Amino acid sequence: MSLAVLAVASCTAVPAFQQQRLAKSNMVFDDTNAFAFSSRLLPQSEPGTGSTGAAQGGGCTACK
Amino acid sequence: MTHNKLHSVRRFPGRLRGWQGLAVVFGCGLLPVHGLNYTLGVSTEMAGATDVLLVDSEMFVRLRNDQREITVSLGAAEIDLEYRPPKVNILGRSEDLSESKQSGQLTWREGLDERMQWTFSCGGYQGFTDYRSLWLDEYYRQLFSTVAGYQTADVGGLNASIGGKYEYLKGSGLVTCSVGWQQDEVAPGYEKIIFGPLLRGEDNLATWRFGVGSEHVLSPRVRFKQDAAAIQSTARAWRYAYGAETAWALADAWTARLRLETAKEAEFHAGSAALLMERDWEGRWFAGLALRAYADNGQIIDPLLISGAAPPLDSYLLQLTLRYAGPHATWRLALGPYLTRYSQLTPGTARFAPLYQDRDWFAAQGAWAWRF
């Protein structure tokens, strides 16, 4: 929580002429381009990865 | 609408051929041609171990102008699994299982030229989403398919979501919120009570996801993003998830990205950390090394109860990445080992040892996109 508040409070308006590094393709958070930092397969093994809420099937009647 | 803008809406771009023409027809009426561009992309990902092979591929077409963006994606995934029955199941037999999944998604973003943007998305899929579900479905099928009350699984799902994004500081800060719904038809578990009926687990799961997030420029070298979600699924406790990611330009040609994630659902806790170090040449070619570690405390609550719930897991990923970003084309290749290590099984989960065994995977990703 403190990290989140600190980030908002620290946000600064960076002039366009200083945004050269920030505009590089690997500095942009974009889930749709080739620089996406994610995997569609890893969540199959890791029940705590992927916050989409997608339900894993094959549960059990007495699961947990 | 000004005369010039009206004129541009009516005028189609110069030379349109083949699928480009089809794309314009698809977007006609939704996307004024002014500033219209198209992106075509494909990506594929595979992970293989001695008894499992997973392949997931996707292609998309995106039409975009100054105001809105429409993306249609189609996916196909394959699970190949060598099923070996647990030793306690003396009537069980080995099977080579192969299942495919098809999926489609439509995403519409509105207001790209405004501070407030909206995103609408909907889609669906048919087929098993993961190898664990497929393994458990075969396990229960071999045990109970001849018992009254067993039903063959017909797995699939639908989803829809709406989200908003507000840029409160132009080019430097934004906040997001979203609500998503998902309905999954899953392969349920079964339990046979002695002299009693066959009990069938929940097979229709509704999931609601409420998310908030933000992105900030902290300095001319640092960009920060965070997102949090509360997720509620049928017959499950609320899950809370948080992720934070930092992109840091260490030097002109060196970039580091760090992502931390955590999730909590009742007594279940999970966390992961990923670091990507990348060197670029002229902002076109990028080579990097990614490291990722994940750990959870397992989904088993009562170790004596027979359960298909997963035991505690640690996993490690090491990837070499090579990327290219040109004026029209971008592509990426990534490959490396992925290790999954489970804690010792409990008496209740010992029969699921073939499923929850340690595996040494080889993982690879490839993606390509072309913007017209």
B193, B328: one domain: yes
B23, B39: one domain: no
pLDDT, tens only, B97-112: 999 999 999 999 999 9
By CA distance, what is A26's nearest residue in B?
Answer: B255
Q: Which of B1-15, B216-230, B278-292 has the lowest mean pLDDT?
A: B1-15
What's the confidence (pLDDT) of residue B363? Answer: 96
Q: Do B56 and A25 touch (CB under 8 A)?
A: no
What's the confidence (pLDDT) of residue A56? Answer: 52
Residue spans of the domains in chain A: they are 14-38
Q: Grade residue B212 by pLDDT with cuts at 50, 70 and 90.
A: very high
B295, B367: one domain: yes
Range of the domain at B11: 1-34
> Which of A26, A36, A37 is nearest residue B280 as measured by Cβ atoms?
A26
pLDDT at B63 over 90: yes
What's the confidence (pLDDT) of residue B191? Answer: 86
B237, B291: one domain: yes
Q: Which of A12-16, B94-98, B139-143, B322-326 has the lowest mean pLDDT?
A: A12-16
**Contact with chain B for residue A6, Cβ under 8 A:** no
> Which of B132, B216, B306 is nearest residue A8 as measured by Cβ atoms?
B216
Phi, psi of A50, rounded to the nearest 5 degrees: 90, 105
What's the confidence (pLDDT) of residue A20? Answer: 80
How far is Cα B8 from Cα B30, in angstroms, rounded to an integer? 14
Q: Which of B16-30, B115-129, B137-151, B327-341 has the lowest mean pLDDT?
A: B16-30
Q: Do A19 and B171 touch (CB under 8 A)?
A: yes
Q: In whole angstroms, how far apart are CA B316 and each of A49, B85, B130, B330, B369?
A: 13, 27, 19, 27, 28
Q: Do A35 and B263 touch (CB under 8 A)?
A: no
CA distance B3 to chain A (A): 31
Q: In whole angstroms, how far apart are CA B272 and each of B52, B104, B295, B317, B341?
A: 23, 29, 6, 11, 14
Q: Of B362 and B17, which is predicted with more confidence? A: B362
Here the CATH number for the domain that contains residue B315 is 2.40.160.40
How far is Cα B67 from Cα B8, in angstroms, rounded to an integer? 14
By CA distance, what is B198's nearest residue in A?
Answer: A61
CA B63 to chain CA centroid, Å, is: 22
Report helix, strand and coil shares of chain A as percent, to nearest 5.
30, 0, 70
B25, B105: one domain: no
pLDDT, tens only, A5-60: 555 656 677 777 777 888 888 888 876 656 666 788 989 999 998 754 444 544 44
pLDDT at B19 over 70: no
What's the confidence (pLDDT) of residue A62? Answer: 38
Please, which residues have CB within 8 angstroms of residue B344's CB and are 6 or more apart in sequence?
B311
pLDDT at B7 over 50: no
B84, B207: one domain: yes
Q: Count structural domains, chain B.
A: 2
B25, B55: one domain: no
pLDDT at B13 over 70: no
B89, B144: one domain: yes
Q: Grade residue B227 by pLDDT with cuts at 50, 70 and 90.
A: very high
How far is Cα B165 from Cα B212, in angstroms, rounded to an integer? 10
- As a whole number, mean pLDDT of residues B17-22 equals 49
What's the confidence (pLDDT) of residue B361? Answer: 97
Q: Do B214 and A7 touch (CB under 8 A)?
A: yes
- As a whole number, mean pLDDT of residues B102-125 equals 96
Question: E strands within B250-343?
Answer: 254-265, 268-281, 285-296, 313-325, 329-342
Q: Which chain B residues have a beta carbon less than 8 Å from that of A2?
A: none
B79, B170: one domain: yes
B29, B90: one domain: no
B363, B320: one domain: yes
B10, B136: one domain: no
Interface test with chain B among A1, A10, A30, A39, by most B beta carbons within 10 Å: A39
What's the confidence (pLDDT) of residue B32? Answer: 56
- Enter the DSSP assignment of A63: -
What's the confidence (pLDDT) of residue A2? Answer: 58
Q: Do A64 and B272 touch (CB under 8 A)?
A: no
- Is this prediction's ipTM beyond 0.85? no
Phi, psi of A10, rounded to the nearest 5 degrees: -85, -5
